[in-house]
Every structure is written in structure tokens, then in C-alpha cells.
A and B are shown apart, each in its own frame.
Chain A
Amino acid sequence: MTKIVSKWLLGLAVLCFCGGALKAQDLSGNEDQGYITGNVQVTMQTYNADSLIGAVVPPGKTGFNAFGNLIYTKGDFSAGLRYESYLNPLLGFPGRFHGTGIGYRFARYKKGQFDVTIGNFYEQFGSGMLLRAYEERNLGIDNALDGFRLIWRPVDGLVVKGLYGKQRMDFDSRLINGPGIVRAVDAELDVNTLIASLHDSKTRITLGGSFVSRFQAGSTLSVDTLVLEVPQNVGAWGYRANLQHKGFQANLEYVTKINDPNADNTYTYRRGEGVLIGAGWSTKGFGVTFSGKAVDNMSFRSDRNLLLFDLPINYIPAITKLHSYNLAATLYPYATVIQGEVGGSAEVFYTLKRGSKLGGKYGTKIAAQWATAFSLDTTNLTGVEGAVYGYERNSWKPGSELYIRDVNIEISRKISNKWKMKYTYFHFDFNTLATPVTTAYKGIVRANVHVAEVAWRIKPKHSLRTEFQVLTTGIDDDGSKQDRGDWATVLAEYTVSPHWFFSFQDQYNYNTAEGESGLHYIYGSIGHIEGSNRIAVGYGKRREGIFCIGGVCRAVPASNGFELTFTSSF
């Protein structure tokens, strides 16, 4: 009975919201009546069987994902919802997403020092190593919190956040939350804003601290000869500091978590720890940045029994950067080894001056990065200790196992008003045992990628952009090619600004380990853009691969068919 009443109360609240919104529109022109904004994204794909590339046809023959957001805002009040449809979900999306309905709804009110949200919300503390609720809609990733959040700004420069909620786990014609309860508090202090005498200081300091706790019912675990209690309340906390002085910046974040036996750490009782350090300096024409990261057993979920993308409370950023060229981005994309790793990176940006001998008439931009990550330096424990704690960490030094080495350099130059060119080189040493992006090779793949990009402005508003990409893998001692051999991609994109684009891509897989004849993946598309509306249709083959956005990756199967996408916002 209570459930039914609460549903109707919620329905009533939504009706009031919509009624208010309608009234607001009727009275448009009066700023006090509020306004509505929204967006829509629709993707429909057909599937043809193609045994050459391993494309299969799902039972429904087509996939259809869509969502629409509406937000009504009136002064300090806002409320919104997202309607979602998976009829059936596109291949590569979580297969358990089904049906059509409301997947997100919230109301928010800000007044004076207080900012209150009920319903769904996204949140991030610091770099997210303790808590990050976020969405990557195109990957089907959404761990939004559902509950209550209070943000309090008692004085200028101090922000205190407190929240209680459950996390979104699934969608079956409605939002389905996971079993755990997340409780968290965070405080961030902007020292320069708080202390009047430091307002205009060129040195800026920000300090922060967080505590996050998860409750999930549990009983006992049998470990070796022991019967151990599962901690139902798991606490994690951390501190962070950020310093800026003119072009110099430095940041430090430390997090830790009490014992949390879970599927990621094979139900051992180790504590978790993580450190993130960054420093950089930049001035006009030059920038350099260094970062280091060490994490040990910091997987933190609101359901201890889940893995991969399900119900993460925190987010551990990868040390490598996200690449945008197709072959470099999708064949060997690195994601943090969540059980533990130590890594570092350095990156340099430099612009050769306009008019100089090397810089040319318009200047030349150069960027180079080195990034690497290793296993932890650990010793496996034995006997009962081993069963309970797994291993002990000897130091924060890198362990013996290389996870990734990514070296890349990019040189771009505007030749004239009509021509621009860019060359990029990547080298990867990629451990497919640590990050299993392929089933065709187990070990360290050595890959080199060369990309040449040429943009030609044919006449005002008409442009042609082409990419030529080659990826070659190493040869093992037995003379065989690593992984799935070599790849080449040719892309041509003709655009008529601001409304039309036409693109053609051929991706070719050759020199395969099995010595098979080469495979072409040809895909063409055409699209129209009108302001914030964009519609595109495409047809062709797409290889299986890893599709990444913002540091999170999902495996997408091979497909052959027609795709329609539409996005719009208002």
C-alpha cells in the first residue's frame, strides 16, 4: 500500500511539475515563469549476418536506443526527467537493458547557502577516487545516485556536501537501483576565497577531504578453515590539495579504504590505498605536465559481488591519455587495472613560433607524451594469511610486470589558408593479460601506429579531410605476427559548412597471424546538421573492438548494417 501511495505521490509531483512547465510556456516572455530545456538522442541499427567479420543478427534483427531529457527551471528551482528506450538495446550495450520508461528524475532547490537535490543526481569528490557518480550514455554507463543530497556553502570559499543514496544498476522499463546504500560527506576549502588578504594572491590553494561509506547486508565468508564476518559497513576516506602559482600547478590526493572483501579482490580482507600526484608548468607556447599514480585494492562498489562496469562508487583514472584516431583508440585502449598498479606519465606541448624558420608562416604545434604502468611490488602470502589477505605490498615501487607503455608524438602545421597537415606516431607495449582487449593474443603486444591527416579547404565552406592510418604489430620469436596482425585505415570526410557532411572509411586487416587473406571494413555515412539538430545515416561493416569515452571502455561486437542517429537539444 505504501508503495502504491508513494508512486502516486511521485506521479502527482511530476504532474505538478509538468503543469507548471506548461503554464510557464503559455506565459513565455515573462522571465519569472521559468523555462524548459531538453535534448533527444536516437540510434537505430539494423544487423546483417556476416560470417567473414563475425557479425551476427540478434533475435530482434534491429537495435534501438533512445533517450530524451527535460529540465524545467524557475528561479532557484529545477526539476527534470530522462525518458529512455531500449527496444531492443544496440549490440555492445548492456544486454539486460530493456523496455521504455523513466530512468532518471530529480528536483533541486537552491536558496542562500543551501542547495538540495532529491531523486537522481551525479556527483564527484576530488578526482573521483573516492566517489564519482557519472554517465557515459553512449556506453550505457550510468551509476547515478538516487536519494538526497545537500550542498552547504556556509561562507565564501567553503563547500560542504552530504549525500545518502542508492546507485543506478539496471533498466527494465524503469530505473533499478543496486542493493547497497552510499553515505558520503565532502568538504572543500578555497583558501584564497576564505581569507580576504589572499584574494588577489597569485598563489592559490585548495584543500579537501571526504568520507564515503557503503552499507550492504552480508553474513559470513568461509576462508580456509575460518568463518569470517563480512563487513556490512565499509568506510573509505581521503584528502586532497591543489596548489597553483601563475603557470605552475600541483595536486596531491590520497585515499584509503578499510577491508572490503569483494569480487574484484577475490574476497580478501586487505585494506585499500591510492595516491595521485600531478604537477605541471606552462607559459604561452609551452606546457609540461607530470603525473604519478599508485593504487592498491581500491575497487569500491555498492554491491561487493559485482565486477566490471557495475555499481562503481569511485573512479580511478587511467595514466594514459585518451586517443582519438580510430586505430590507436580502439585496438589497444588502456584502462586502469583496478586490482592495483603503479604508473607515471610526462607530456610536453610546444608551439614553434609563427614566422620562424621551423614554425612556418602560421606556427607549428608539437605534443609528445610518455606514459607507463606496472604491476604492484608485492609478495604473495601463504596459508591462512594468504587466504585472508592475499598478498602484502613491499613498496610503492613498480612491480615486475609491465601493463602498458604508451609513447606518442603529434606534429601539426597550418601550411596555408587552404591546407593543414598533422602527423602522429604512437608506440604501444600493451599487456593483453592485464587488460584483456583481445582474445587472439596473450602477452605483450608491440604496436606502432602512424597517422597522417590532411585538411584541404577547397573553397569557402567546402572542405575535405583525409586520414591515412597504419598499425603494425610485432613479430614473435616463432616468426608469427602478434595478435590480429596489421591494420590500415583510409578516411575521407567532405563537409559543406555548416550543414552537411559525407564520409567514407575503409579499414583493412592484413598480415594476420593465421595468414588469412585481408578483410575490408567499409563504412559510409551522410549527415545533416541544423543548429543543434543532427541527423546521420550510415551503412557498412564495423569491426569488433573496444569503444572508449572519457577513460571507460566497452567491447562492441562486429556489425554489418544500416545505422540512423539523431540528436537534438533545445
Chain B
Amino acid sequence: MKHLTSPFVLCLLLSTMALFSADLHGQAIPDVQIKDMESRAVSTAQHISEAQGPVLICFWATWCSPCKRELNAYADYYREWQELFGLELIAVSVDDPRSVSRVQPYVNSVGWDYSIWLDPNGEFKRAMQVINVPHTFLVDPATSEVIWQHNSYTDGDEDEVYEQLVILAGEND
């Protein structure tokens, strides 16, 4: 196995070096088949590519306090962001089989108007390289690529999201 490990390590290093040395375009949205809260099948890449405005993808779970603080904070501004930027917020629940049935009642009770996707075995989470929740991505509708991302949530991060939306709107004008 040692013979095999060396080329693996070499490839890993070279690929990473190439990644950081190249003039990268943004991360595209991988195509994963998951479901929304109404049990409808969703093709992630297709949905994002059809978006008319910027898309904010937030990975969260019902057991994750910072995730709920983040999405409750965005809820205060969501209507305004929709009107100003045409934003769609997709909250991707990574609740596993233990808690996935809590998603719909929780979401409706707090009144979120977001699109809700369910990712109970973490397939979309892995494809998006999310390690811990909350993790938030902003997608440019012109290219369907991630232009900004943020891991964790602290009070006031919504200001950063707003600033990024303003920058994106300026670039796409």
C-alpha cells in the first residue's frame, strides 16, 4: 500500500497547489437529487441555474442553535432583500432521520418564507464541501457559481450578507 500512497499524496499536493495558483472561476453548484419540504424531487444544479436573482444557500439543522439564529435574523430582512435584489434563500436542512420530521412544523411555526430542501444523509452537504453547519453560500445568477461563502454565524453577519448582495448587484448592473 505504501507504493500506492505516494502517488496519491503527490496528486493531492499537486492538485491543491494548482488550485491555489490558478486563476479560478467560482465554485459551481453540484447536481444532487434531493427533496424539498413537500417531498418533491429537486435537482440542485438545475434549480440554481434557473434562478432569476442571487441565491443564498444556508445549511442548517433543527438542533443547531446558531443556524436557527442565523435564519431567524435573515427572516427580518428577507422581504426587503427579495424586493431589492430578487434574492431566493434556500435553507438546506441536514437533519438526519432522527429529526427530519421536525423540519416542516418548525419552519411553519416560525414563519420562514424560504425554500426548504432536505438533505438527511448529507449528500448535498458533502458535495458542497460543508464541514460544519451553519455554512452559507451566495450564488451569482449570471454564472450560477458561488461568489461568497461563510462558515458559522455570529450576530451581525446579516450586515455582511447585505454588503455582498450590494456588491453583486453592482457587478451585474
- When distances are taken between beta carbons in the complex, the residues of chain B under 8 Å from A173 are 1, 5
Contacting B at CB under 8 A, from A1-24, are: 7-8, 10-11, 14-15, 17-18, 21-22
Most interface-central of A251, A501, A532 (chain B CB within 10 A): A532
The interface residues of chain A lying within 8 Å CB-to-CB of B152 are: 501, 529, 534
Could you tell me the distance between the alpha carbons of A465 and B28 in the complex, rounded to whole angstroms? 36
Q: Give the number of residues in A that approach B within 8 Å (Cβ atoms).
A: 104
If the complex has contacts A122-B121, A284-B108, A291-B101, are A532 and B149 also in contact, measured as CB distance less than 8 A? yes
A533 close to B151 (CB less than 8 A): yes
Q: How far is the CB of B10 from chain A (nearest CB, A)?
A: 8
Contact A135 B122 (CB under 8 A): yes
Q: For the complex, is A480 an interface residue (Cβ under 8 Å from B)?
A: no
Task: Classify the interface of chain A: helix, strand, loop or mixed.
Answer: strand
Whether A124 lies near B120 (C-beta < 8 A) is: yes
In the complex, which residues of chain B have a beta carbon less than 8 angstroms from the beta carbon of A462? 156
Segment 113-150 of B: residues with Cβ below 8 Å from A: 120-123, 126-132, 135, 148-150
When the two chains form their complex, are residues B63 and A322 in contact, meaning their CB atoms are under 8 A apart? Answer: yes
Interface contacts (Cβ under 8 Å), in number, total 253
Partner of B12, one of A68, A315, A323: A68
Tally of B interface residues using CB under 8 Å = 70
Residue from the list A14, A35, A193 in contact with B41, Cβ < 8 A: A193
In the complex, chain B residues whose CB is within 8 Å of the CB of A71: 30, 127, 129
Whether the pair B127, A349 counts as a contact (CB closer than 8 A) is: no
- Contacts A174-B1, A190-B39, A206-B39 hold; do A29 and B25 have CB atoms under 8 A apart? yes
Alpha-carbon distance A127/B118, docked complex (angstroms):
13
Cβ of A435 < 8 Å from any Cβ of B?
no
- 30 A-B pairs with CB atoms under 8 Å apart are A10-B4, A18-B12, A37-B129, A73-B28, A73-B30, A83-B12, A102-B8, A110-B31, A129-B97, A135-B122, A193-B40, A247-B108, A280-B101, A285-B108, A287-B106, A287-B108, A289-B101, A317-B98, A323-B63, A324-B63, A349-B108, A351-B110, A367-B109, A497-B157, A497-B159, A498-B160, A529-B154, A532-B149, A534-B152, A569-B149
Q: Which residues of B contact A (CB under 8 A)?
A: 1, 3-5, 7-9, 11-12, 14-16, 18-19, 21-25, 27-28, 30-31, 33, 38-41, 62-65, 69, 96-99, 101-102, 104-111, 120-123, 126-132, 135, 148-152, 154-157, 159-160
Q: A78-B30, A132-B97 are in contact. List 8 more A-B contacts (CB 8 A).
A: A70-B12, A110-B31, A281-B105, A282-B107, A286-B109, A351-B110, A461-B156, A551-B97
Q: Which 9 residue pairs across A and B have the least CB separation, nearest first?
A: A287-B105, A497-B156, A349-B109, A18-B11, A495-B154, A282-B108, A463-B155, A317-B98, A551-B98
